[in-house]
Amino acid sequence: MSDKVDRPARLTLAEVGQRVFEVVEPGCCYRLSLPGLLVWLEVDRLSWKSQELTGELLARCGLLGAETVDGVLSVATFNLSSARARSERANLLAVKARAPEIPWSALIEELCQRVLTAERTGDPAITLRDVPRPNQADRIRRVFGFQLPWHHPAILFGDGGSAKSYLALYLAGLLAKDGERILFCDWELDAPDHRERYERLFGQDMPANLFYTRCSRPLIHELDRLRRIVRLQHIDYRVHDSVGFACHEAPESSDSALGYMRADRQIGGGSFHLAHVNRSETGDTRPFGSTFWHNSARATWNIKPTEDGGGNLKLGVFNRKPNLTAKQPPFGMDVAFTPARTTFKLSDDIAEVEAFASQVPIHQRIKHLLKSGARTREEIVAELQDAKPDSVRRVLIRELSDKRLIEFPGPGSDKRIGLAVSA
């Protein structure tokens, strides 16, 4: 009597049925699917080191009798460049799936070859003039006074107590209300705190498209997790609160800023980052830390608070850097706190707030002044006491030349200047 056990013949690639290779996320995640066999191979978290490509290989299997955990046959780091690693992983999967007839070695070989080809090919070079012109509505999203670069990073920076986190949550909620899928990445508070604030801002009609995740490690170490969340939840835009806590080194380090921004780009999509100010006379011109924070963002705003005497806030927002739009004029907002609600409202004229008036451009201050009636040149110069008289006169000449202001005879011999109808 023979002791030989009949083993099922190993299938060929032609016999396994349809094989589908997908680029789930370029440079990050690839998948080989075999729906006829209920097998899926996915490689994620890719990185090149010493001319070898490594990642995390996840194998799912729906066959009866397979040794799986929630459908996962195996998940472990994997060297796609190593022939030995391919052979060893194929043997492991054959044992755990209890399916030696499946050509695991050939499937892993195909996955590795396709991934390596995709990684080496990358995005092809293109003729720049043939690239379609961008749609301005898709490039810039206007929300509550801000013009956000929708596919690039932007930074809002200010001192503590300037309601940055509250404002960022409000902006995120407004975008979610418009149908966008927003992810709030939080290094400072926690979910219950933001949940309470969210209801204070929007009541029971809190938009459902705002997702939250608590972060406890630097962004470069949260990268894989956040990238996966963005992919699985189809996130359109992110808020990061805040830069200082998300750095892997001191914010003053160029490596910290550049590493953070590289990680942000790898996650993909546009993002809104909160940061603090420098403790210097020019600290309100750019975020705290390395100059690369300011240089890497496509737009930056400084936010300044002042109390109105009743426990509420008036905020001034100053566009310090625009790359994709014209520079925005400063704008203000009122923040009111009641026992049940917190409300944000855009101010009619930031020049009305004494604490911000000196930081508003002269032409904007002149227009605010003339809303109450026409003035002579010298009256305008006298009213703007903290501005250089010659600067005020030059602005008046320019505004009159551009027809934004008009000059007409007044009582006596002095001419008066007023607002043009379209101003």
CATH number, domain of 382, equals 1.10.10.10
Report pLDDT for 121.
87
- In this structure, the answer to whether residues 232 and 289 fall within a common structural domain is yes
Residue 5 has pLDDT above 80, yes or no: no
Query: 318 is in which domain, residue-wise?
Result: 137-355
**Are residues 204 and 343 both part of a single domain?**
yes
Mean pLDDT of the chain: 91
Are 267 and 236 spatial neighbours (Cβ–Cβ below 8 Å)? no
Of 61, 90, 121, which marks where a domain is finished?
A: 121
Kindly state whether residue 217 falls inside one of the protein's structural domains. yes
Asked whether residue 390 falls in the same domain as residue 285, the answer is: no
What's the domain count of the chain? 3
Closest Cα to residue 82, out of 108, 117, 43, 60? 108
Q: Is the pLDDT of residue 6 over 80?
A: no
pLDDT digits 0-9 by tens, 205-233: 999 999 999 999 999 999 989 999 999 99
What is the pLDDT at residue 292? Answer: 95
Q: Out of 165-169, 295-299, 314-318, 414-418, which region has the weakest mean confidence (pLDDT)?
A: 414-418
Same domain, residue pair 141 and 282 = yes
pLDDT per position as a tens digit, 295-345: 999 999 999 999 876 789 999 999 999 999 999 999 999 999 999 999 999
pLDDT at 415: 86
90, 121, 152 — which closes off a domain?
Answer: 121
pLDDT surpasses 90 at 21: yes
Residue listed under structure tokens 């503590």? 160
The CATH number that applies at residue 265 is 3.40.50.300
Residues 112 and 141 in one domain: no
For residues 98-111, give the mean pLDDT. 95
For residue 348, what are the CA distances in angstroms to 149, 316, 338, 352, 369? Answer: 24, 12, 22, 9, 13
In a domain, 44, yes or no: yes
Tell whether pTM > 0.85: no
Does 349 share its domain with 367?
Answer: no
Lowest mean pLDDT among 155-169, 182-196, 317-331, 349-363: 349-363
- The answer to whether residue 344 sits within a structural domain is yes
pLDDT (average), residues 392-416: 86
**Based on the domain organization, do 302 and 411 belong to the same domain?**
no
Q: Evaluate whether 361 touches 320 at the Cβ level (below 8 Å).
A: no
The reply to whether 147 and 54 lie within a common domain is: no
Domain check: are 84 and 170 in the same one? no
411 has a pLDDT exceeding 80: no
Average pLDDT on 127-149 reads 91
- Tens-place pLDDT, residues 257-290: 999 999 999 999 999 999 999 877 677 899 999 9
Q: Is the pLDDT of residue 1 over 50?
A: no
User: Same domain, yes or no, for 90 and 45?
Assistant: yes
| Distance separating alpha carbons of residues 157 and 117, to the nearest angstrom | 42
The reply to whether 271 and 415 lie within a common domain is no
pLDDT surpasses 90 at 76: yes
Which residue, 304, 325, 355, sits at the end of a domain?
Answer: 355
Residue 149, pLDDT > 80, answer: yes
342 in the same domain as 325:
yes
